[in-house]
Structures are given as structure tokens and as C-alpha cells.
Structure 1
Amino acid sequence: MSLATISPQKAKELIAKGAVLVDIREADEYARERIPGARHHAFSKLQGPIAAPGAVIFHCRSGNRTATHAERLAAAATCDAYILEGGINAWKKAGLPVAQDKTQPLELMRQVQIAAGSLTLLGVLLGAYVHPGFYALSGFVGAGLIFAGVTGFCGMARLLAFAPWNRKAAVPAKA
């Protein structure tokens, strides 16, 4: 079963009539930027049915994740379900409100992209200007990215998750 896509304007109309917007992005993405009022159900942890009094509208960042997983999302919905065409990016482009918390770290996958790109460029520059042996750094990073793509395990993401800026603040004990 496939889900129909709807525009941000149509989604806003349905939400005004009682539809529920469901954000399927990961928790770190949701914490940094979200559509106000959207429920968070990370696709990676999606279990059980998602019910709403009217309809359910699923969204991600660009619409790609929701489109890719439309069949599973449709199976999880117990009512009419749609995909927000273009995701939160299209929502913003339409001038609709988003809540941002810039104190939250960048999404982990963006951090991996920045780190991998930086290390690859560093390896090339050091290889060209210092010693050819530094090209191995770029090769190592490339091999790690291939391994992550094939296996689904990203060692760099695991390491970055422990970085000080990615640690969750300790919740103060109640008196």
C-alpha cells in the first residue's frame, strides 16, 4: 500500500481539522528543529499502530525517508495516512512555522559527513604537500564509509556520539 503525498498547505488544512503530524526523523534531528505540534515517532523505533482521530501525516526532512518507507508507515497507521511532500524543508519553504533549538548539536549524520569530509581533505592536502603516506588517511576514511554503507555500522558515528557536545545534560535531582 502506498501513501499519497500532500502539500504543506494541504497538510496545514488537515491539521486544523484534527489530523496528526508525525515526525519520523531521529531524536537528534527532532530536538534541533521540528514543526510545532508534531508528534515524534522515530522510524528506527517505530512499533505498534499510530492512531489519530482524523488522519496521520508523516514527515521527515526532505520527504525521501517517508517515501522510501511508505509501505511500513501505511501499515502502522490505523486511519487515513499521507506523506508531507518535501518534508520539513518544504514546510519551511512554504513559510510555515518551525521551532528551532540551536543549542542542540548538529544531527549525528551531519557531524559524520563533516568529519569524514574534513579528514579526507586533510589526507589529500597532507599527501600532496607533506608526504604521500598521508593519502592513506583519505583511503581509510573512504573504506570506513563503504563499510558503514554495507553493514549499517558507522564507527565514526559511534565515536562522535561520545563527544562532549553530544552528551545529554544531566537532569538535576528533585529535592
Structure 2
Amino acid sequence: MSTTPSHPALDPAHALARLPELTVVDVRTPGEYASGHLPGAHNIPLDSLDRALPALRAAHGELLLVCASGARAENARAVLAGHGIPAATLTGGTRGWAARGHELHRPRGGSRAAWAMERQVRFTAGTVVLAGLALGQLHPAWLLLSAGVAGGLVYSALTDTCGMAALLAKLPHNRPRATDLDATLAALAAPGSARG
């Protein structure tokens, strides 16, 4: 890939205008991707990025990284920059894109619908906190479970990382099928792959 992004972040209006020349890479989980993604976006979950480096390096057109809100896309941009692969991110992610009335594509038939990662984290954290509080009625030591989740959430906010999301991303419903990822990587490396 020979182009260097003129802007590290593109707002939805500029991204829409430039969509035909961009290679859009959605770094969310397959379930999140299936719930709606930018037209022509390729799905490469954040934790599969290392495997995708050769295909991303060979992709045609400027890379635009997308996630739900922009945080994971920025993490992906930093990883790619560390490997000498320039990329831009979409300001506001797919939420910002949809909020401006731009179209989201959804796979036809049999798509796996999943909650957004942020929603999965909130559900899991809330469940663990409630379990810790309930079990704390049996023995006070269980309250440490709730305290641990609270501490993890504070750390997550301060560092803009999320260990719980990284763990949840490993669950089967959040993992790409190997054949899906292989097909995506092959499409990215193919000539004329600016839009998939």
C-alpha cells in the first residue's frame, strides 16, 4: 500500500465522499459487523490484526479503520502504524456514521446478530457485580469480586483499554470463522480491492 492518509481521522461526511477510493476495515467482532457495517467494509477483528498485516499492506487504496465508536479503530491504527502501514479512522465509528443517516449494510440471511462489545461488557460487569454482592451475603470475601470489577472499570476508563472486552472477544460468537477471515484477507490482497 503506497498511500499515506492525509488525515488520521475522517468524519462521516468526508468518508462518504471518499468511500469509493477507500479500503474500509471494520475491526469489530463478526457479530457486531453482521449487525450493520459501512458499505464495502471488510471484517478483520482487532485481535486478528497481526494475521492480517500482509493483506493490509497489500490492500489498494487508503485504509479506513472502523469500529462502533472509534476507540478500537484507533487501537488498530496504532498497531498498523507500528508496522509501517498508514491508516485513518472514522470519527464516531459506525454509530456516528448511522447517526448522520448514512447507510449500513447487513449480510443477507443467516447472519449472526450479536450485541455490541460495549453492551456485552456492561452486561458481564453488571452480572459479576450483582453476583459478588449476592454471594457477599454468604461470606464477605465475595464482595471482593464486585470490588475487582469496579477497579477494572476505573482502570479501563483511565487507560482507554478494556481487558473484559479482550476476554469477551475470544468467545465463539465473537470470533470469525476461519474461512470468513481467509476470504477477507484474500479479497484485500486481490487487485482492485479498494471496496469489498
Q: Determine the C-alpha separation between the residues in 2 that align with 1:111 and 1:82.
A: 26
Report the equivalent of 1:13: 17
Aligned residue for 2:18, secondary structure, equals: helix
Q: CA RMSD in A?
A: 4.0
Choose the corresponding residue for 2:48, options 45, 48, 60.
45
How many positions carry a matched residue from both structures?
A: 157
Q: Which ranges of 4 or more aligned residues in structure 1 deviate by more than 6 Å? A: 147-150
**Structure that is richer in strand per residue:** 1
Choose the corresponding residue for 1:118, options 127, 131, 154.
127
Aligned residue for 1:36, secondary structure, equals: coil
Decide whether the 8 Å contact of 1:35 with 1:97 is kept in 2: yes
The answer to which of 101-110 and 18-27 deviates more is 101-110
Write out per-residue CA displacement over residues 100-144 of structure 1, whole angstroms, 9 at most, x where no aligned residue.
5786132466334313313423654x58xxx83366544324436
Give the unaligned 5+ runs of structure 2. Answer: 157-162, 176-196
Map 1:67-146 → 2, pairs under 5 A: 67-74=74-81, 81-100=87-106, 104-107=113-116, 110-121=119-130, 123-124=132-133, 126=134, 132-133=137-138, 136-143=141-148
State the TM-score, normalizing by the size of structure 2: 0.59
Q: Determine the C-alpha separation between the residues in 2 that align with 1:134 and 1:108.
A: 32
* Larger-gyration structure (1/2): 1
Choose the corresponding residue for 2:39, options 36, 40, 45.
36
Give the unaligned 5+ runs of structure 1. Answer: 169-175
Q: Determine the C-alpha separation between the residues in 1 that align with 2:132 and 2:96.
A: 37
Higher RCO, Cα 8 Å, sep 6+: 2
Quote how far apart the aligned CAs of 1:30 are.
Answer: 1.3
Q: Percent same amino acid at aligned positions?
A: 24
